[in-house]
Amino acid sequence: MNNVRVGVVGVGHLGVHHARVYTEILGANLVGVVDVDEEKAHDVAENLGTAAYTDLDRFLDETRPDALSIVVPTVSHFEVSRKAMERGVNLLIEKPVTANTQQAEELLRMASDRNLVLQVGHIERFNSAVQHVREMVHDPIFVQSRRVGPFSTRVSDVGVVLDLMIHDVDIILSLIHSEIADISAMGRRVRTEHEDIASAQMRFDNGAIAHIMVSRLTEKRMRTLEITEPERYLMVNYETQDVTLHHCVQQQGRGLVEVVEHPVFPKREPLKLELQDFVRCVRDGSEPLVSLRDGKRALEVCVEMLRQIHGDVTRSKSEAICL
């Protein structure tokens, strides 16, 4: 296959970086960007030497892309994705994949029927520290994640569960290879009409427990993942892409001595790794690291957390955890 013809739909805060990175990837050819804001679309296109569009149909007709990044507000993910897939376009859809699980199921069906690559933009999976830890972790018994920071008006269409917590849910589901036994969650609105702070716990059939804390009201910014195994403890700093490993060794005459290690590994831009994976999958027809099934499962978990936070507690426990 020649260079993969790619485009970006939605060039706001994150979409502009998708467009930039595509111009830096070997094997990708950025054929255009689409945004309802004409000035924004032209500014991004001019800076990157590509074409600007405000109409998706016209863009699809004129450029005939092989693949698209969908970086529009969540409420528009399904309709934009469906329209592109009907024309045989492979997609990377930013998280959360859709506004509800029924829409995700429909996209799964369309992708299967048309043999299309459908990847979900869970960028933390491509964090160099996370990828390094994935090779080390074998038996997590307790996982704790904190993703907190100051208030920002940038994200207004969803609360912290679908904006922030869904990252951690996806990471935890990729590390703990067991079915979920139980979910509990709480949160509250403070600055917006959605939940601005939330805490959730997941218990798994194999006995593992995970706890997640997210907030957009905390003046100190923190992005960490802590993993406890029977004989060691690992901590990931998402922002610095650093890993710290703690374990104890028996030393003669001194008893147990704590050893702290700081593994050294290459650090790369997560978004570039993510889009390289997407382009490779489109070119080779292979399965992406984060498939739509992964995105759908993370969404299902978050929907149950939102149900508990905001109400609708009539659904049975067995139904809630059959994810």
Residue 323 pLDDT > 70, yes or no? no
137-141, 149-153, 314-318 — most confident range: 137-141
Amino acid symbol at 213: M
Distance of CA 222 to the CA centre of its chain: 17
pLDDT at 312: 57
Going by pLDDT thresholds of 50, 70 and 90, the confidence category of residue 314 is very low
What are the residue ranges of helices labelled H in 155-260?
Answer: 160, 166-175
Going by pLDDT thresholds of 50, 70 and 90, the confidence category of residue 234 is very high
Residues 6+ apart with CB under 8 A from 8: 15, 18, 19, 22, 30, 33, 34, 68, 69, 71
Q: What is the spatial distance between Cα 240 and Cα 157, in angstroms, rounded to a whole number?
A: 28
More confident: 315 or 300? 300
pLDDT in tens, 253-269: 677 888 999 999 999 99
Tally of residues, the chain: 323
Share of the chain above pLDDT 70, in %: 95
Which letter does DSSP use for residue 13 in this model?
T
pLDDT at 1: 59
Q: What is the mean pLDDT of residues 24-41?
A: 97
Query: Which domains are assigned to the chain?
Result: 4-123+270-289 (3.40.50.720), 125-268+302-310 (3.30.360.10)
Q: What is the mean pLDDT of residues 180-194?
A: 95
* Residue given tokens 């595509």 in the structure block: 22
pLDDT at 55: 97
pLDDT at 321: 36
Q: What is the mean pLDDT of residues 167-190?
A: 97
Phi, psi of 56 (to 5 degrees): -65, -45
Amino acid symbol at 42: H
Q: What is the mean pLDDT of residues 177-195?
A: 95
Q: pTM of the predicted model, to two decimals?
A: 0.89
pLDDT in tens, 104-113: 999 999 999 9
Residue 158 pLDDT > 80, yes or no? yes
Residue 322 pLDDT > 70, yes or no? no
Residue 25 pLDDT > 50, yes or no? yes
Residue 131 pLDDT > 70, yes or no? yes
| Local structure of 21: helix, strand or coil | helix
Average pLDDT, the chain: 93
Q: What is the mean pLDDT of residues 98-126?
A: 94
Residue 48 pLDDT > 80, yes or no? yes
Number of H helices, E strands in the chain: 11, 14
Q: What is the spatial distance between Cα 154 and Cα 29, in angstroms, rounded to a whole number?
A: 29
Residues 6+ apart with CB under 8 A from 56: 9, 34, 80, 83, 84
